Amino acid sequence: MPTVNEEIVQKYIAGCRKHKKESQYALFKQFYSYAMGICRRYARNSDEASDILSDSFLKVFSHIEQYDSSKPFKSWLGKIITNTAIDYYRANLKFGQQEDVEDHEHISDEASVYGKLAYDDLLALVRSLSPAYQAVFNLYAIDGYSHNEIAELLGITVNTSKSNLHKARKRLQELLDETTKMERPTIRTK
């Protein structure tokens, strides 16, 4: 991804503060790939990803006054997208997807290296998880949230968050194994 020129970004943001359409368009286009990347990970399908994206930018433009210019815009945007995605998750998920901690100490750290797997393949695998697993895995493994933060965000217990992460990993491992059954190179990482 090309390096974001902060100076240009700040110029766009200044225009957005004045509700200039062209600045909004420029900012949207500048961060489209990054933002859509997050949306796709959390969404169940591409249509929902577009909805999350547009709702997120709607919040960005509506609350642009609250953005602290001393901090990277990208981080602020990422946070808004994640929160919007969680709103969608809450709307999607009302029951049945969260599970309590079970015995998972036997899960090995064995993993496969699937470096050649394309972005679309990985995305499809994440989306194949249940919404609860998908949300926790995204938040923890990719976006770097702690279990405490996840528990608060999703309204679940820390143990449930840990359990869902564990099961998400396990499920992904199974799916990876199925996907590359014929030519799976494996390594033991620990």
Partner 1 sequence: MQEKHPIDELFKDGLTDPDIPFNEKDWRRLSKKLRGNRKRTIPLWVWAGSAAAAAIVLAIMLFVTNRNTRSTIAESPGYTQKTPAEAPPSSGVQRHSAVSPGNGLADKPAVDDENRSKAIPPPVGRMQAAATDSQGSPALSAAKTTYALLSSPTATASLTPRTDSLYNTSIIRPARTMIGPPDARMQQPRYRVAGPPQRGWAFSILAAPDLSGTQPLGGKLSGNIGLIATYRLSNRFSISTGALYARKRYAADFAEYRPSATWNNSAGSPTLVEADCGVLDIPFNIGVNVSQSAKSSWFVSAGISSYLMLRETYNYSYPPHEYGYPQQITLHNQNRHMLGIGNLSVGYGRKLTPSLSVTVQPFVKVPLTGIGNGNLKLYSSGIAISADIDLTRRRKP
Residues ≥6 apart with Cβ < 8 Å to 30: 4, 8, 9, 12
Shortest distance (Å) from residue 69 CB to partner 1: 20
Instruction: Compare residues 14 and 58 and give the one whose CB is closer to partner 1.
Output: 58
Residues ≥6 apart with Cβ < 8 Å to 125: 172, 175, 176, 179
The separation between the first and the last C-alpha atoms of the chain, rounded to the nearest angstrom, is: 32
CA 36/CA 29 separation, integer angstroms: 11
Shortest distance (Å) from residue 81 CB to partner 1: 13
Instruction: Compare residues 12 and 88 and give the one whose CB is closer to partner 1.
Output: 88
Shortest distance (Å) from residue 11 CB to partner 1: 19
Instruction: Compare residues 138 and 160 and give the one whose CB is closer to partner 1.
Output: 138
CA 138/CA 66 separation, integer angstroms: 26
Instruction: Compare residues 14 and 113 and give the one whose CB is closer to partner 1.
Output: 113
Contact residues for partner 1 (CB under 8 A)? 1, 24-25, 28-29, 32-34, 36-37, 40-41, 44-45, 47-48, 50-51, 53-55, 57-58, 61-62, 88, 91-92, 94-96, 109, 111-114, 117, 119, 122-123, 125-126, 137, 140-142, 144, 146, 169, 172-173, 176, 189
Q: What sign does the CA torsion over 141, 145, 151, 154 have? A: negative
Q: What sign does the CA torsion over 166, 141, 152, 56 have? A: negative
CA 86/CA 139 separation, integer angstroms: 10
Shortest distance (Å) from residue 53 CB to partner 1: 6
Instruction: Compare residues 11 and 59 and give the one whose CB is closer to partner 1.
Output: 59
Shortest distance (Å) from residue 83 CB to partner 1: 13
What tokens does 11 get?
A: 């110029």
